[in-house]
Structures are given as structure tokens and as C-alpha cells.
Structure 1
Amino acid sequence: PEQAQAGGMNPQIFNSFLDGTKSAIELAAVSNACDLVPQDCGLQFPACGVDDLPRLLCPRESGGILDRKGTVEVVSSLERDTRPVFRDLRWGVYVTFEAPSEYVARCFNEYGLLTDPSGQYSTMYKPYHLIGLELGISVASAALRGEATGTSRAWSGDAVATAKRDLKPGEMLDGEGGYTVYGKLMPALTSKARSALPIGLAHHLKIKRPVAMDQTLTWDDVEFDAKDPAIAFRKEMEATFG
């Protein structure tokens, strides 16, 4: 908290990093840019150091924890009992990938890459994620060259509003990092089927029926103005890509 205050951070936005909302939003963006389908459970936040990335972050049938191949996950830098993870990746980024052939799997071994016990999955990572320094390059690329650093290729993932506590009719939602809801990642097809309320629009909407803690909020749970430009655009997106 002291570091956040010294850095002039918005307390509610800072809290959205702690409750998992920002991870859900960012991994939804990655899912849509890379056409990766989120896990049915969302994000598991496993406690995992860099040496265990290829062992844990592969499909269950291969000995890992993931629902499927071609998905996204965030690792925790703390064990469940709050002990620090050995060689954590708190500040970094990574990608885990499968060898497409026996030749590539052999190269994993020959070049000394970290692998799972089967030797079929490996990981590359950076210990730092310098977003404040990298952002300027993306802005300049977009402004000067019309070149996007990343852009959505599909609607594969969605970050949806989920109740932090039991919500009663008449209460107002206060968005990411607030007291009422947090963002949870889910496959876009599941979000569309449930008529889920996106976390990005869960601001200043009134609850019109009880919602239990940890339940996904739907459009039917809230009062909203269908003519609001942001909501109208979202509804158009659901109709177009759902």
C-alpha cells in the first residue's frame, strides 16, 4: 500500500490487481489476440517458480494442471500458505509450448531448455515486464506506422463480473477493484451462453435481483440503458461474434 501511494496509484485500480480482475482482463486480451481459449475454470493462479513452468503448465493428460492445450494461465509468486515461491516470476512473462515433432523435442534437450519430464513441453520466460517503458514504443508504432503491437483476432475469452459478496436488489455496482464485483476469465462462448455481464461495464449499474457471492452476474441481474454507447457496442459485438 505504501508503494502504491508513493507511486500515485489509484487505490481501486491497485486493488483490481490484488483481486484477480486485472489478470482476467489482460489474459482475455491475450486470448483474443492469439485465439487461445481460456480454461473452463478461468484462472487457477498456481504457485509456480520458473523451473516448474513446463511441468505444471501443460494439459492434465500430460501431467500438468491445464484444462486444454492452447490456453492461458497466470502463476502466483506465493504459496497457498503465503511463503514465497522459489525462483518466482512475479515481475515476468512466459510462454509454454509443445514440441511439434521429435526433432524439436530433441533440440529442447540439446540446447538445454527447461522441459517437463516427458521432454515434450518447454518454456521461455523473461524475468521482467517493463510495461511503463515498453508502452511508449507501442504508442509510437501505432501513431507513426499504423502498426498494432497486438489486436484481437477472435472473441475467445471474456472477463465477466462476479459477485464478491451476496448482492441485494438496489445496490450499485462499483466496477473492478471495488467492493461489489471482481473480474473472472471464462471462454467467450460460455459468457455468451450465460448472458454474462462484462466486468468493464459493471459500473453504476443497479442490482435488480439477489446475486449470491461468487456467482457470475448476467444482464438480467442489473438495470441498464440499452442506448448507452458502450453497452450498445457490447451488444452489437455479442450479436456479431457470439
Structure 2
Amino acid sequence: MLGMNRKLSAFETEGKYIKVGLIGAGQMGRGMISQIEGMKGMKVVATADINISNVINAYKYAGIPEENIIQTEKEEEAVRAVEEGKVTAFSEAEKVASLPSVDVVVDATGIPNVGAAIAWEAILNRKHIVMLNVEADVTVGPVLKKLADSAGVVYTGSAGDEPGAVMELFDFADALGFEVIALGKGKNNPLNLEANPSTAAQEAEEKGASPKMLASFQDGTKTMVEMNAVANATGFIPDQTGMHGFSATVDELADIFQLKDNGGQLHHKGIVEYVQGVAPGVFAIITSHNEEVHEELQYVKLGNGPHYTLYRPYHLTSLETPLTVARAFFDKEPTIAPNYDRQAETVATAKKDLKEGEFLDSIGGYSVYGTLMEKSEADGAEAFPIGLVDANVKVMRDVQKGETLTYNDIEQTKESTIWRLRRLQEQ
């Protein structure tokens, strides 16, 4: 992000720093705190986690002395801690989102309803909100963005998350006037629609990850949600339900991502996709209508045309989030946001045979996985969004494995913030 280092350095030289409030001190949150501790002009002044020991440990791992970590639920004590150059550990997320001494709130919980509530609280308190919670974003991001715009604050996804990394490539190519054919990401592991916390347990233990989170990657839900966010930000759509999931190397992408009539594999242009074999990278497939441009692209060895691949071979997850924080604070601009409302929907698909009266569990659980659909198809089927799935949703009829759940198939038994925001969005 050009020039952000100089802005942060100048800010610190003035004796100032961006005050960050973080919700969620798991793997993503811990990494972000440690990264920011090594930066200029920014500090995580308050962090909340339902397990407050996670917050204490995250600050310690970042090199903050224990005597500078204040554990409290009182606003006045937290404000005083910031004034004294200390940090605060909370167990209640709302306390961080409403804290007067916080400039930017970051949600790193990964739980859709929690993320929706955090974003809502941050916007009500006129604070910029950075979402490392793509599941919440694709479910109620459009209405949250409108509310944030009205409040004069920034609602944004994060740099380092794959949608943010894809968006950077898109903005680069689009600004230069290239025609963007497709946007995509690599998938790190083979698609396993039956993955669940039990099947993922051993690998999760080896990686120090949550079995449920790992299962959501393996069963494809996370990939569907991430490309859903890109679709809503760019106006692109999936080429087919569930996307293709091609297997390819980077060198093969430009040929695959052409229309079928031209020897490729696509039905349409302007699509989102995922590919096995190019992880952990992200890509944009571009072309030009100008022969002189083609000649120069070939001269710089981007390929033989007519399509070319822009490829970024890495994304640093929450370690890049501070750049989004800084962009929101200084420039009042998002890294990625739902500029096109809903272009697609990640819908709940039965992972097993579901019985009438059974309750769903959660994303990455045993009951459902996510499938990406174009908006018109999802709306026509009254398909049930994956972001609304939780343990309070009851199945009202027998649903076969592989079948898409609809609103008519389920009953919401307990009110929640994300359901209320979704109804507001649909109005």
C-alpha cells in the first residue's frame, strides 16, 4: 500500500498513533497484535475475547510487559490505561466497540452473528470497522456498508484475507483499463464435502488450528464465502453454481479462463472462481482490445495472449490487516466492500441426510456446507444463506444429503443480530 509507511511514521513523529480495538484473540488476532507491535503509528489498545486468557497471552507474545496489561470491564479504567500507554483486556466485545479511546475496530472472531453485532455496535459508535469475518460480510455486508456510509465511517474487509488480495489485483487491472475476465484464488486442500470437526481433528491438532475452522476450508465453505465477497465487491458472478474448481498450474490459467467457443472452459466473462494447484495465491485474468498493449504484455513475458495472468503468490492473512486499518483511518477508504450489493449468495447445502426436528450446528460442523450461487438463482429458490446457520435453526422436513436448504425448510427459534440485519437488508 504505497506511502502508508510514511503516513504512519509521520503520525508517530507527531506523538500520535491509531488506536485499534480488536475482537477475537485466536490465531488471527494474536498475529495481528504482534505485527502491530512492530509498526509505527498504531497500537492495539484494547482486545476482547470470551476467554480473557487468550487476550493476556496474545499481548505477552507480542512482547508487552504483564504490568502494562490491564484486565477490566470498566470503560473509565480502559480510557485511563490508554492515557498511561497501557493496553486493556476485556471479555465483552461490546465494551471494545464502544470505547471512546478506540479509532478503528477489527472483528477477528469468524462467527457470523458475533461479527454482525460487533460491526453494528462499532457503526453506532462512529468507528471504522474492519471485518476479518467474511461469513458475516457476505450475509449482511451490504446493509452494514450502507449504515456505515450514513454514519460517516468505513466498513471494510481486510487486506491479507484472500478477497482483499484479489481486490487489490482487480483495482490495479481495472484502473489501467484492462478487461478483467476472471478473478480467483487457489484452494489449499482437496475439496471434501463431508469434512467435519471429527475428520479434521488430527490435522487441526498438528497445525494448532480449530477443527471446525479447518473443516470449513476442506468442505469448500470458506472458498465459496470468499469468492462471494469478491463478487459483491466487483459485480462479478460465479460461472456456475459451486464454481468449477479447476485443477491447474499458474501457467495454464490464461488458456483455461477463455470462453468455450475459444477453446477455454468458461461460459461467461466477469466471473469468480477457485483453482486447485495455485494456492496460496490469488489471480486476475486480463486482456486488452489494443494490439499495442498485447505486444508489450508479451514483451514483458506475461504470456502469448490473448489472455494474461496477474498472480500474487501469497497472502499474509491478519498480518496485513494493519494496512486496512491505516487506510480506513487516514484515507477513509475500504480495502474491499460490497459495492454491488448482493451479486451472489453462499447457500446452505446438506452435508448429510437431515431429519425433521433436527437442529443445524454451524459453519464447519456436521450438518451443512456452503455452495455459491448467483443471486437470482438463490433468490428464486428461496435458498437459505450459510451465514444464518447456527444451533438455533431447526429443520422442518427431511432433507437429503446434497440438497440445498430453503427458508421453507427451516425455522429460526431464537432472535439474533444477524437475522435482524438480514431482514433490514432485504427490505
| Structure 1 consecutive aligned stretches of length 4 or more whose deviation exceeds 4 Å | none
Q: Quote the residue 1:230 is aligned against.
A: 418
Q: 1:31 to 1:236 in 2, by over 3 A?
A: same
Residue from 139, 158, 172 that aligns with 2:345: 158
Partner of 2:348, secondary structure, is strand
Q: Quote the residue 2:253 is aligned against.
A: 53
Q: Quote the residue 1:173 is aligned against.
A: 360
Q: Quote the residue 2:332 is aligned against.
A: 146
Measure, in 2, the Cα distance between the counterparts of 1:29 and 1:53: 22
Measure, in 2, the Cα distance between the counterparts of 1:233 and 1:189: 20
Q: Quote the residue 2:226 is aligned against.
A: 26
Measure, in 1, the Cα distance between the counterparts of 2:417 and 2:214: 27
Q: Quote the residue 1:130 is aligned against.
A: 316
Shift of 1:163: 0.8
Q: Deviation per CA, 1:106-163, whole angstroms, max 9, x where unpaired?
A: 3332222124xxx211111011122232122112322454321111111111111111
2:241 and 2:371 in contact (8 A); partners too: no
Shift of 1:216: 1.1
Partner of 2:347, secondary structure, is strand
Using structure 2 for the length normalisation, give the TM-score. Answer: 0.50
Q: Quote the residue 1:84 is aligned against.
A: none
Residue from 101, 108, 125 that aligns with 2:290: 101
Residue from 183, 186, 202 that aligns with 2:370: 183
Measure, in 2, the Cα distance between the counterparts of 1:62 and 1:226: 51
Q: Deviation per CA, 1:205-236, whole angstroms, max 9, x where unpaired?
A: 11001112111111111011585331132133
Q: Quote the residue 2:173 is aligned against.
A: none
Measure, in 2, the Cα distance between the counterparts of 1:44 and 1:200: 22
Q: Deviation per CA, 1:51-79, whole angstroms, max 9, x where unpaired?
A: 101011222222222221000111012xx
Shift of 1:97: 1.4
2:241 and 2:374 in contact (8 A); partners too: no
Shift of 1:176: 1.4
Measure, in 2, the Cα distance between the counterparts of 1:103 and 1:234: 48
Number of residues paired by the alignment? 225
Partner of 1:72, secondary structure, is strand
Matches within 5 A, 1:12-91: 12-77=212-277, 89-91=278-280
2:394 matches 1:206: yes
Measure, in 2, the Cα distance between the counterparts of 1:226 and 1:59: 46
Measure, in 2, the Cα distance between the counterparts of 1:147 and 1:211: 43
Measure, in 1, the Cα distance between the counterparts of 2:230 and 2:299: 31
Q: 1:162 to 1:3 in 2, by over 3 A?
A: closer
Q: Quote the residue 2:142 is aligned against.
A: none
Higher strand share: 2
Higher relative contact order (CA 8 A, sep 6+): 1
Q: Which runs of 5+ in 1 are unaligned?
A: 78-88
RMSD between aligned alpha carbons? 1.9
Shift of 1:101: 2.7
